[in-house]
Chain A
Amino acid sequence: MKTRVKKIIDKYHNDKGFLVPILQDVQKEYNYLNREALNLVSAFLEVPISQLYELGTFYKAFSLKPRGRHEMKLCTGTACHVRGVPLMKDNIERILQIQAGETTPDLEFTFETVNCLGACALGPILVVDGEYHGNLSISKTNRILKKLGKKVKIDEES
């Protein structure tokens, strides 16, 4: 781990001014801000750990808990909401057996809601690993999850 973190820091020439990009790289490397890595960053750059914790909890892009291999973001903005997103949210939560904002214990899926993706015309929208799925429906969420290897019980709606 030491060499991996050192490599990231070297990329930014040991410059404390690049804390956020450094943490972004750490996040990418481990899929979350792992504690040991944060301690190493703190030691290498002589930045108090309190400041790294502050950054890590401030930005939504950072996570202090391990995240799933697949990231799903469901838009709950007004336009998506009126087109039935709450039902799709329930469906995803039921299939993954987690609540929005959580990660499945097998670290396969992280499911979150976001407030508006700025693409209301396509709503409801689900972003899966950076890919936008517009005009979402319950059956579409079933299909997407199935494709990602989730056993989905097909029920009446589809």
Chain B
Amino acid sequence: MAEMVSLTIDGLKIHAPAGTTILEAATDANIYIPHLCSNEELAPYGACRLCMVEITQGERARLVASCIFEVADGLEVKTNTERVLNVRRLVIELLLARNNKHPALRKIADELGVKETRFPIEQKGCILCGQCVRTCREVVGVSAIGFSGRGITRKVATPFMESPPDCIACGSCVYVCPVQFIPMKEENGVRTIMKYDYPMQKCRKCGQYFAPKKQLEYFSKITNLPLEHFETCVDCR
């Protein structure tokens, strides 16, 4: 068990293991802090800045991203001051400029009392939270996709903007995206992610399509088991 530290969040005394983030500690204590890019399966990242909170350590009060700032003894955290809310409103306005349609974003905007963004609406869809890229890298372990460019030209990209050679068509990136930006469909034994096609494998026993061939090949490679082993669906095993 890790060493415990005590802090206050919105006046509430809280004990949390050292090394956890403010966001985790708050969530455990049932205190809601809006957030979009943090995901407990992934390493702390701090991209969206929605989770800003005000902390007081000693004399000075300042704003930090709660999803990357670790708890410390004697820390005073406030999640709802006017200063915090102002920043969050600005952040959600900026996000709305990239996507002002998605219900997840609209909901956060509503909570903050933001009706519309003052910025020109670009409707890019993707909010660059990076969850897809990080999931593919950290959880799936193939790092098939990444970012390209920087600043205003930054976007999620496949290498050379072509069909990603390392992709195993697992669909994790699709699943993890908070704004459903990456389309996926399955038809006649072919899974299509973004605009790239991946053939599916038919189960050797029941004959149903059940998983992308590339994913099974990947399983076989990392487990060192023969491919046939994976060509039967879970139901038939």
Residues of A within 8 A of B (CB): 35, 48-54, 57-58, 64
Cross-chain contact A50 with B143 (CB below 8 angstroms): yes
Closest 9 CB pairs of A and B: A48-B143, A50-B146, A54-B146, A57-B148, A53-B159, A49-B159, A57-B149, A50-B159, A58-B150
B158 / chain A contacts, CB cutoff of 8 Å: 50
The binding surface of chain B is classed by DSSP as loop
Cross-chain contact A49 with B148 (CB below 8 angstroms): no
Complex: how many Å from CA A54 to CA B156?
A: 10
**Taking the complex as formed, is B14 at the interface, i.e. its CB lies under 8 A from any CB of chain A?**
no
Complex: how many Å from CA A58 to CA B149?
A: 5
Size of interface on B: residues with Cβ below 8 Å to A:
17
B159 / chain A contacts, CB cutoff of 8 Å: 49-50, 52-53
- B146: contacting residue among A35, A51, A64, CB under 8 A: A51
Residues of B within 8 A of A (CB): 137, 142-150, 157-160, 164-166
B144 / chain A contacts, CB cutoff of 8 Å: 48, 50
A-B contact pairs, 30 of them (CB 8 A): A48-B137, A48-B143, A48-B144, A48-B146, A48-B166, A49-B159, A49-B165, A49-B166, A50-B144, A50-B145, A50-B146, A50-B157, A50-B158, A50-B159, A50-B164, A50-B166, A51-B143, A51-B146, A52-B159, A53-B146, A53-B148, A53-B157, A53-B159, A54-B146, A54-B147, A54-B157, A57-B147, A57-B148, A57-B150, A57-B157
| Distance between B161 CB and nearest chain A CB, rounded to angstroms | 9
The binding surface of chain A is classed by DSSP as helix
Which among B137, B146, B159 has the highest number of chain A CB atoms within 10 Å?
Answer: B159
Nearest B residue to A58 by beta-carbon distance? B150
| Distance between B141 CB and nearest chain A CB, rounded to angstroms | 10
Nearest B residue to A64 by beta-carbon distance? B160
Contacts A50-B164, A53-B157, A58-B149 aside, 5 further interface pairs with beta carbons under 8 A come to A50-B145, A54-B146, A57-B147, A57-B148, A64-B160
A64 / chain B contacts, CB cutoff of 8 Å: 160
Complex: how many Å from CA A64 to CA B149?
A: 12
